[in-house]
């Protein structure tokens, strides 16, 4: 019985240590934009309700090592994008910490940020390329 209580407390403690969450509201907003075939771009900053300095977009099959290298911080990818081709992963940083992430459903589209390494609140354009 003591072991069960210990593991429950450990899980609750570990869950409380992380501020990073999947922002389902933002996912739904982006899904609606992409769903409308007349849209060819997404302005991320107009959709966010949290502070962020950089956002990185990761393509299908991005590796854990590649994600962490590009972010410059430790981030345990909860989406398992390294074996998925149905989503893009968008990760937001503030003060060099991951604050939010979203899984962007492809919906018959690819997403690009041109030649930029990342997005910023003032340079937040994601282009939708339909196939």
Residue 52 has pLDDT above 50, yes or no: yes
Kind of pairing between the strands at 109-112 and 97-105: unpaired
Asked, for residue 15, whether it belongs to a domain, the answer is no
Q: What is the pLDDT of residues 9-19, one digit of tens each?
A: 444 344 334 45
In whole angstroms, what is the distance from residue 21 CA to residue 30 CA?
A: 17
| Predicted pLDDT at 83 | 95
Can you tell me which residue has the tokens 């590009």? Answer: 70
Q: The sheet that has 21-22: what strands, in order across it? A: 21-22, 97-105, 87-94, 54-58
Residue 9 domain flag: no
What is the pLDDT averaged over residues 93-105? 96
| DSSP β-bridge partners for residue 97 | 94
pLDDT of residue 7 exceeding 50: no
**Taking the model in full, what pTM does it have?**
0.82
Kind plus residue range of the DSSP H or E element containing 73: none
pLDDT band at 6 (very low <50, low <70, confident <90, very high): very low
- Counted domains in the chain: 1
Domain span at residue 115 reads 21-130
Does any domain span residue 96? yes
pLDDT of 16-49, one tens digit each? 344 566 788 999 999 999 999 999 999 999 999 9
Residue 3 belongs to some domain of the structure: no
| Average pLDDT for the chain | 88
Tokens at 122, concatenated: 């003032």
Residue 7 lies in a domain: no
């Amino acid at each position: 019985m003591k072991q069960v209580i210990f593991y429950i407390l450990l899980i609750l403690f570990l869950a409380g240590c992380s501020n990073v969450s999947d922002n389902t509201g933002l996912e739904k907003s982006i899904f609606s934009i992409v769903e409308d075939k007349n849209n060819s771009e997404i302005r991320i900053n107009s959709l966010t309700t949290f502070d962020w300095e950089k956002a990185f977009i990761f393509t299908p099959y991005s590796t854990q090592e590649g994600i962490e290298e590009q972010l410059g911080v430790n981030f345990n990818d909860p989406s398992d994008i390294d074996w998925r081709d149905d989503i893009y992963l968008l990760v937001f940083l503030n003060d060099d910490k991951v604050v939010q992430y979203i899984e962007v459903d492809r919906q018959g589209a690819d997403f690009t940020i041109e030649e930029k390494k990342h997005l910023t609140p003032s340079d937040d354009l994601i282009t939708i390329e339909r196939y």
